[in-house]
Chains A and B, each alone.
Chain A
Amino acid sequence: MTDREILELMKANDSRGLDELIKAYKGSVERVVSRIVVNRADCEEAVQDTFYKVWKNRESIDLEKRSLKGYVNMVAAGCGVDKLRSSSSTDYDTLSAEENDIGVEVDYADQTARAINMKVIAECIRDMKSPDREIFIDRYYYRLSVKEIAKRHRVKDKKVENILSRRKERLRKALLKKGVIL
């Protein structure tokens, strides 16, 4: 069943759409969530929350803007982070405005510019060496704390900070060079 067919079923309030969605993306959601949440019960809850939220928001899903898989994974990451926040065993903190600022105004409003910028960002992150890529994703996608990332990668906090700082600068330069900046 295609994504469009799954979504059509869901929008028609047909629960078979949800079943097909789970069948198609459960593995992907589990992977995303398990990167954030270690505890088994939390993980299971986050997976369930993800599909609940996707179902709840089914009317607003637009496949022209984003693939179903991309949308589901994005929701999964959010649910994982929410679960982290409520978990006392995992260190989680918020990003400061300064740390979260790429330093340039990236055009995400215009559809063409948005597509170009997304491609530049994805390529830049994909091309990062390991473990820099994972650390960058852990921090800015999963929003794990520096301490938690350091623990997971068995490196010092300072090293994580150094990597994030350098990679952020690389990303900024890549956007300046190839992206569409306002």
Chain B
Amino acid sequence: MRKITELLQEIPLDELTGDDVMRADKDTENKTITMEEKESSRPRAKRTGTAAAAVAACAVVAIGGTMLFANNRQSFDPPASQVSTDAEDSIQTEELYERNLTLAKLAYETCDCDFELASPYKTVFSERVGRINSGFEGLDIRVISVTSCYPFVDIEVAVETLDGSDLPPAPASNAVEFTCDAGLGNFSVGGMDHYGNAATGTIRTSLIRNGLDDNAQVNINISQVKFGDTVYNGNFGAAVDIGKINYMDKTVGGSEERSLGHGTWEGNINGENTAVEYELKKVQYCNVGVAVTLDMEQNYDDTELYELFNNFAGQLAYYDPEGLEQYAADVGIDPDMDPYFVKVWRYGVPRPLLFSDMEVERNSDGTITLYYKKTYHPFSSEDIHGIQAGSIVMDLLPVANLKTEG
């Protein structure tokens, strides 16, 4: 047999994706997986030793009030009201807030990140948000918090056992991806992190792509939660008020008259190096994000902009230094090329800005703004004394204010 399609069709999909494979023979379970500054689609803890086996939860989620994956024999209830008034919720408000806060912190604590830096952008709910309308026996599911920093909104969901016992184990160390309905156009959901008797995950959406504004309501539905071979089915619905949108609180430039400099950068599109020329018009930053506004010489479509400023660096950031060289060779990229357009100067040295997502906004004056999200690996914006965009380095603080690391 020579046809790849036929060769693959003989193999269960899970074995190709690794979603459902107990890879006990792999060394990943005994290996420290270090993703210190890189934000993947979900916060990934530094997992060491057997802790690596702790994860794998999958939820089928619909967002935007539609349910894509419903069996057509099953009708889904509309999302529950934001605040449940039913007596089944035995947890008191204060206790619920504390529990939600504890869960919200876990994603940060397990990767040695400072929750407090992200907390100004986060609303932890003190009331029950969402309700299980059917199924999911033995589980409690609820939205625990919302994190917003324009143009991203993260809706954080927790799954817990009602009796406090551990959730079923999962066979793989990496979380299985959520499967989502595209009811809102642009959103993404990472896996869930497994913390014994609880698991948490994030649903992310873009305000730009979905035209959401302050206090918009986002409907989510979860129809399945899966831990390895253990599958829970049901219907969880929530109408989540995203609240007032937070914006980056520090801005340099931004006036039409003022230029922050002209720069160049060697980017990459389709495996070919591309010289990008631009004028830096504005820099915005905060604890959980950085944005740069550029007036570009060349006209790029959105795909090319993502390719230039997101994909390459994003891909490379997943790999360790040794893997980078191999990966660059695999995809035909010059390994000596600097993949990071944006760097943040902290403690006297430039650091590649490792981010979990990027969004492009086209402004009415023809400029574009690139938003980089760092919600799960926040840094103190007070420690930043420079932001570099390609060849331009913006000094933000007097040298005397420089701190030394550690």
User: Measuring CB to CB, which residues of chain A are less than 8 angstroms from any residue of chain B?
Assistant: 22-24, 26-28, 30-32, 34-35, 38, 40, 43-45, 47-48, 66-67, 69-70, 73-74, 77-78, 95, 100-108, 114, 117-118, 121-122, 125-126, 129-133, 137, 140-141, 143, 150, 154-156, 158-159, 162-163, 166, 168, 171
Q: In the complex, what's the smallest C-beta–C-beta distance from B123 to chain A, in angstroms?
A: 30
Could you tell me if A162 and B68 are in contact, using CB atoms closer than 8 angstroms?
no
Extra contacts besides A27-B233, A156-B303 (11): CB < 8 Å:
A23-B233, A27-B69, A30-B60, A30-B179, A66-B10, A77-B13, A114-B10, A133-B17, A137-B8, A154-B303, A155-B311
Given A43-B69, A108-B7, A163-B331, A102:B13 Cβ within 8 A = no
Known A-B contacts A105-B1, A141-B16; the reply to A27 vs B226 at CB < 8 A is yes
Query: Residue on A with the closest CB to B332?
Result: A162
Known: A102-B2, A159-B270. A126 touches B16 (CB 8 A): yes
Q: Which B3-46 residues sit within 8 Å CB-CB of chain A?
A: 3-18, 21
Assuming the contacts A34-B68, A40-B181, A77-B9, asked whether A108 and B1 have C-beta atoms less than 8 A apart, the reply is yes
Q: Mark B306-335, 1 if CB is under 8 A from A, else 0.
A: 110011000100110001000100111000
Bound-complex Cα distance A31 to B303 (A): 26
12 contacts between A and B (CB under 8 A): A26-B233, A30-B60, A40-B66, A74-B13, A106-B1, A121-B7, A129-B327, A141-B13, A154-B303, A156-B304, A159-B331, A171-B4
Chain A-chain B contacts (Cβ-Cβ < 8 Å), number: 161
Tell me whether B271 and A38 are in contact (CB under 8 A): no
B residues near A132, Cβ cutoff 8 Å:
330
A141 B182 Cβ-Cβ under 8 A? no
A122-B71 in contact given A30-B179, A77-B9, A141-B8 (Cβ < 8 Å) = no
- Specify the chain B residue showing the minimal Cβ separation from A76: B13
B224 proximal to A (CB < 8 A): yes
B228: min CB distance to chain A, Å? 12
CA distance A53 to B217 in the complex (A): 40
A residues near B307, Cβ cutoff 8 Å: 154-156, 159
Question: Is B404's CB within 8 Å of the partner chain A?
Answer: no
Chain B neighbourhood of A26, CB < 8 A = 71, 233
Query: Chain A residues with Cβ under 8 A from B306's Cβ?
Result: 154-155
Give the CA-CA distance A22 to B72 in the complex, in Å: 12
B11 touches A43 (CB 8 A): no
Whether, in the assembled complex, B368 has its beta carbon less than 8 Å from a beta carbon of chain A, the answer is: no
CA A45 to CA B68, docked complex, whole Å: 11
Given the known inter-chain contacts A47-B71, A104-B2, A143-B5, please indicate yes or no for A118 contacting B11, CB distance below 8 A: yes
Most chain-B Cβ atoms within 10 A of its Cβ — which of A114, A155, A162?
A: A155
For the complex, what is the distance from the CA of A64 to the CA of B122, rounded to whole Å? 52
Majority DSSP secondary structure for residues of A touching B: helix
A129's partner among B17, B70, B72, B318 (CB-CB below 8 A) is: B318
**Contact among B3, B9, B17 for A126, CB-based, below 8 A:** B17
Interchain nearest-CB distance for A34 vs B (Å) = 5
Assuming A70-B12, A102-B4, A121-B7, is B331 touching A166 (CB within 8 A)? Answer: yes
For the complex, what is the distance from the CA of A22 to the CA of B74, rounded to whole Å?
A: 12
Chain B residue with minimal CB distance to A70? B12
**B393 interfacial contact with A, CB 8 Å:** no
Q: Name the B residues within 8 Å of A100 (CB-CB).
A: 3-5
Separation of A32 and B21 alpha carbons in the complex (Å): 16
Q: Is A158 touching B233 in the complex (CB atoms < 8 A)?
A: no
Contact B7 A106, beta carbon cutoff 8 Å: yes
Whether, in the assembled complex, B231 has its beta carbon less than 8 Å from a beta carbon of chain A, the answer is: yes
Decide yes or no: A166 and B330 within 8 Å by CB, A27-B224, A43-B69 being known contacts.
yes
Docked pose: A179 CA to B166 CA in angstroms: 41
Residues of B within 8 A of A28 (CB): 14
